[in-house]
Amino acid sequence: MRSTKQLFSNSFYLISRWLIMITSSLLFWIIIGKLLNPEQYGIISTSMNFISVLTGIVLLGLPQALIKLISEDKKNIKKYFLFSLKITLLINITIILVLFVLQDFVTTTFKFNFYVLLIVVSGIFFQSMSGIFTSISMGLQKMKKLFTSDVISQIIRIILSIVLIFSIPFFFNPDFKYFGPLIGIIVYFFLLFVLRFDLKALKTGNIKVDKKQLVKYSFPAFLTSISWLIFSSTQYIILTAFKTPEITGKFSVAMLLVTPVPDMIKTISSSLFPIISKLSRNKNSKKPNHLLTLSFKYSLFITIPFILLLISFSKVGVLIFSSEKFLEATNFLPILAIGAVFLGIASLFIDCLYAACYPEISTKITLLLSILFLTFSLILTYFYSALGISYAYLISSIISFFVSFVFVRKHLRFKPPVNSILKIILSSLIVFAFLYVLTPIVHNIFFAFLLLMPSAIIYLFSLYFLNFYSREDLTMIKYISEKSPKFIKNILNIATKTLEKKVKH
């Protein structure tokens, strides 16, 4: 039960952090979509994903390995952290030098200028530095610190981006407005680095580093990280290289709308990861299987109704985060939304395999994912542009889901909660039917938002009458209630009393 409560605690802060991040991120992209044109939108999207891909290379899988090792024993901070930081700095310098040597090729291929390259270089450095320090908080399960630092950094990023978008035209060419959000991104990474900096971690004394142990977990994590980055970030680079920044901008809006799905599941996975790592020392424990089942159940509980809502109001969604110039994104949305669910669940399975001391298997699955995606995307993008890369995303996600499922079933004895899945699907279809009937009369964003509350009520009550909720759900609601403001606490207390009469197990 202690592990379950720790999972709820981790999840509370990480989901709160995720909600802040996703809300601020969506606001960030709404600002860009409303104030910039598709080409400028595409430049920002390409630059950000370029930073993500190269940061993954710089980090060499060290943060994931540190989280794994620190969660097993906090003494491993002194044993491994400083050495990992030195390696990260060395790779940073190497990557930056290579980019400047190849600046003509890079700027020509990805269609941005030298000043954008400078921003990209700064982004790689500060994101990698913040990433390496984040591993300490994750390993020690100090999720509140992660939450606080992200709230501060995100607020400053948005304010700075808005100020610069409107002020740059007064001092420079109005076509350079896109530098505002790019500078905001660099400041965001810098603040994360400063707020998560840990001076104590740099004081190691004369402790010998077990390099073999670090490589055992960092190398598979590196390959896994690169594979995920190839899958999650290269679609923008491929589209820009094969087509135009304008097409990339439209595709980016569709991806922006479905990103909450795998991100939410990844948040749940991050809550589970240090717990599974700690429990993995006892190979006979049944807790990892139980906790994975809970995480799987909550992942579907949240994401399935979300994608049905997204598909129902795809046009409204695109207009919320951009303008009519981006409406072509609705063609890609249903394909990407379905793929996002399969991808999110696959990432949950893969992370659990890594945490349970099967890093080689998790690596092979993500390598398969990236190879499949690159193969399908290069071919389908060439012939079918953004629609082709959307199908590449879907096909690769489905295959990765089934392959990872086979391995968690074998090694973690995972059995999917079939009854819970069926109840979630049935309740989601009831909500979808409700929305489908009313969609024709919804002509603006205001009416779409009005339907969110009744949709949520129908969904939750459908599950109530289908006997979906369990004792562990009550425990989770009570824990959230303890951490919530008074008005939310009152609602959750009513929900708890109602469920206590219905729940029997």
Band (pLDDT 50/70/90 cuts) for residue 44 is: confident
Mean pLDDT of the chain: 80
- Segment 361-415, tens digit of pLDDT: 888 888 888 888 888 888 888 888 888 888 988 998 899 899 999 998 888 888 8
Residue-level pLDDT at 446:
64
Q: What average pLDDT does this structure show over 425-454?
A: 76
Query: Do residues 147 and 20 lie in contact, with contact meaning Cβ atoms separated by under 8 Å?
Result: yes
Tell me the pTM.
0.72
In angstroms, the CA 159 to CA 162 distance is: 5
Residue-level pLDDT at 398:
92
User: Count of CB atoms within 10 A of residue 174's CB?
Assistant: 8
Query: Quick one: what percent of the chain has pLDDT higher than 90?
Result: 7
Band (pLDDT 50/70/90 cuts) for residue 323 is: low
CA angle 288, 291, 77 (to 5 degrees): 65
Q: What average pLDDT does this structure show over 93-100?
A: 88
Give the torsion through C-alpha atoms of 116, 121, 122, 126, to 10 deg: 140
* pLDDT value at 275 more than 90: no
What are the Cα distances from residue 295, in Å, to 273, 466, 473? 11, 20, 12
Q: What is the SS3 string spanning 114-149?
A: HHHHHHHHHHHHHHHHHHHHHHHHHHCCCHHHHHHH
Q: What average pLDDT does this structure show over 304-331?
A: 76
Closest by CA position to 260, among listed 15, 448, 505, 12: 15
Residue-level pLDDT at 321:
64
Residues 6+ apart with CB under 8 A from 103: 114, 117
Q: State how far Cα 393 lies from the chain centre.
A: 16
Read off the DSSP letter of residue 282: S
Domain residue extents for the chain: 2-416
Q: Give the E-state strand segments of 6-100 in sequence order.
A: none
Query: Do residues 393 and 346 lie in contact, with contact meaning Cβ atoms separated by under 8 Å?
Result: no
Band (pLDDT 50/70/90 cuts) for residue 70 is: confident
Residue-level pLDDT at 204:
66
